[in-house]
Amino acid sequence: MTREKKFVEKVESGLCFRNTLYERRISQIFCDLANFDYRKYVGNFSFVFIDGLHSYNYVVNDSRVALELLRIGKGVILWHDYSPDWPEVIQALSKLF
Question: Which sequence spans correspond to the domains of the chain?
Answer: 42-97
**HEC-encoded secondary structure of the chain:** CCCCHHHHCCCCCCHHHCCCCCHHHCCCCCCCHHHCCCHHHCCCECEEEECCCCCHHHHHHHHHHHHHHEHHHCCEEEECCCCCCCHHHHHHHHHHC
43-77 pLDDT, tens digit per residue, is: 999 999 998 889 999 999 999 999 999 998 899 99
Instruction: Flag whether pLDDT at 8 surpasses 70.
Output: no
Report yes or no on whether pTM surpasses 0.85. Answer: no
